[in-house]
Amino acid sequence: MKYKQLNMEAIFILLTLGLVAGILSGMVGIGGGIVIVPALVYFFGYTQHQAQGTVLFMFLLPIGILGVFNYYNAGHIEFKTAFIIASTFIIGSYFGSKISIAIDQATLKKVFGVILFLLSLKMILGK
């Protein structure tokens, strides 16, 4: 079922999707790209570009602050590593979005799928 407008049912599903992605993100560090992007494409009829752009906008807000708080309290955050990664992630996100926008949707979906597939194989078969 594709949702073209945000009626109450669609809003409820989006809220549930956010909750599930948040739980998965807090548990195993996934959520935005792996859960929300495909759901927006296949259940809500978004283009790949719209789904990716929407998820990136979602990350602009401090959505992970409570999860970070719990990991911080448990002593599980490596701040130096996080800042190093974030410093180049910002630049990579800028150029990655430029590249993504320049690619047609069909190719972009395939690239996204191949990346997910290869990562899953590595996690399943790797050491």
What confidence score (pLDDT) does residue 32 get? Answer: 67
Structure tokens at 30: 């996934």
Would residue 95 count as lying in a domain? yes
Q: Is 3 a member of any domain?
A: no
Task: Give the pLDDT score at 4.
Answer: 63
- Position 116 scores a pLDDT of 86
Assigned domain for 50 exists = yes
Residue 2 counted as domain residue = no
Question: In the prediction, which pLDDT does 73 show?
Answer: 93
Q: pLDDT category, 106, cuts 50, 70, 90?
A: very high
Q: How far apart are CA 43 and CA 10, in angstroms?
A: 10
The 3-class SS string of the chain reads: CCCCCCCHHHHHHHHHHHHHHHHHHHHHCCCHHHHHHHHHHHHHCCCHHHHHHHHHHHHHCCCCHHHHHHHHHCCCCCHHHHHHHHHHHHHHHHHHHHHHHHCCHHHHHHHHHHHHHHHHHHHHHCC
pLDDT tens by residue, 32-50: 678 888 888 888 888 888 8
Determine the residue type at 96. G
CA gap 29, 62 in Å, rounded: 15
pTM: 0.69
Asked if 104 and 47 touch (Cβ cutoff 8 Å), the reply is no
**Number of domains composing the chain:** 1
Question: How large is the average pLDDT for residues 79-93?
Answer: 84
- Residues 107-126 have a mean pLDDT of 88
Say if residue 54's pLDDT is above 70.
yes
* 51: confidence class by pLDDT, cuts 50, 70, 90: confident
> Range of 77's domain?
8-125
SS3 78: coil
29, part of any domain: yes
Structural domain includes residue 1: no
